[in-house]
Amino acid sequence: MPLADPPTARTHTTPDAPLDTADDLTVWPHTTRRLPHGDLSVGGVALTEIADRFGTPAYLLDEDDVRDRCRTYLHAFPDTDVLYAAKAFLCRAMAHWVAQEGLGLDVCSAGELELAVTTGFPADRILLHGNAKSPQDLHTALRLGVGRIVIDSASEIARLAAAVPRGSRQKVLVRVVPGIAAGGHSKIRTGTEDQKFGLSITDGSAQHAIARIFDQPGLELVGLHCHLGSQITTEKPYLCAVRRLVGLMARIKDHHGVTLPELDLGGGHGIAYRPGEDALDITSLARKVRAELTESCAAAGLPVPRLLVEPGRAIAGPAGLALYRVLSVKRTGDRTFVAVDGGMSDNPRPALYGVRYLPRLIGRHSTAAPATMTVVGRHCEAGDVLAADIDLPGDTRPGDLLAVPVAGAYHLSMASGYNLVGRPPVIAVQNGHARLLVRRESLEDFRSRDVGL
């Protein structure tokens, strides 16, 4: 994905050195620099220093990288509401950065919404969606004055309408299923008929819901919403979605005499997790979507609606790293297993989706020949594998530090309490400084929540 020129990284440990061209760091945060003794710095801070100061496992987030990716979206999508998808990763600092850069926010629970608003994020720049919103979700959204609510099912219409205070109106969009298969894995494809999200255009569910919304004086339908899936690396599915949603907008105008002013294409913009993998070209996507939207609306006799997009992974993912300490190395049969002090409790994605990461030895030079190894976690599951069959130095040993790039999205947000290991901290780096954003989950946290005997 094209990015603005990265800021010059500085370190307070040793001067920056040029990147070794033999090492492909293209998927790392763009402030990454190579240091002596096999170390790397991100945001001007040595990774070994992060591990020593904050312990492992730990997440690291490059603030400049996050901000630059926000700016890249705003530059690529002018006259568009760019909403950061909080489900990818959210904390107070992230909400603050996103707000400062001029993005809106896409949330899917009262928890995400409350955290953002109590941080100071403007509620009118927040969109709430989700396939099964609880009464608490809806009441919190109305109490805080959320800008948009995406209706995902027919039953939600009456519940939301009944909750809207008398004399006021809540702006809503309808999430429709355009019947488009797109995404990097079957479990993250959400634009087809055979999953739980949205209302089908094909069977008329979307049209029926739209008619019901028009009958509710407390609801103001302002647009259509769709989300095709995640890890989409080509523009074609989005262009097809534009055509189908504009077609539905035209039918709404014909049947109800209403011209909807907004069209939300969701997110799902794919990123590379390993060098050489495909990633969605955001600049190209924006240009082609805008051209398709203009052409489709002209053909349908409609004004061009305001566009909304919801990137999450594409902003947070490449800006983050995970740091682990090696606990054991052993050979079993034909395989060498490198076990680290984290695993599927802090990164369930390899087990869920088969995502392939590329860990790297940090903190010492090794002259040993590379060997094929599998990096595994510490949890009591055979499926607790972080990276299968990758090359690491043949002398990898306990105490070594491994860094995993592209770990900023769907790690902490999907982390669990399995084996009561505790979720890792999040550390932000910028201009040679590191600061704690989210503290490590502790044994005391587990004890304080366990109130029965």
Q: Which residues are catalytic?
A: 380
Q: Is 337 helix (H, G, I), strand (E, B) or coil?
A: strand
Could you tell me which residues are annotated as the binding site for pyridoxal 5'-phosphate?
268, 310-313, 410
Could you tell me which residues are annotated as the binding site?
268, 310-313, 349, 353, 381, 410
Interatomic CA distance for residues 1 and 304, integer angstroms: 26
Q: Is 219 helix (H, G, I), strand (E, B) or coil?
A: strand
Interatomic CA distance for residues 54 and 401, integer angstroms: 13
- List phi, psi (to 5°) of 373: -140, 160
Would you say 347 and 355 are in contact if contact means Cβ atoms under 8 Å apart?
Answer: no
Interatomic CA distance for residues 373 and 358, integer angstroms: 11
Residue with tokens 């997009």: 309
Interatomic CA distance for residues 5 and 26, integer angstroms: 14
**Other Cβ atoms closer than 10 A to 35:** 20
Where is 308: in which H helix or E strand?
Answer: strand 306-309
Would you say 348 and 414 are in contact if contact means Cβ atoms under 8 Å apart?
Answer: yes
Could you tell me which residues are annotated as the binding site for substrate?
313, 349, 353, 381, 410
Q: Which two tokens stand for residue 32?
A: 């990454």
Pairing of the two strands 320-332 and 58-62 = antiparallel
Interatomic CA distance for residues 388 and 274, integer angstroms: 13
Interatomic CA distance for residues 57 and 346, integer angstroms: 9
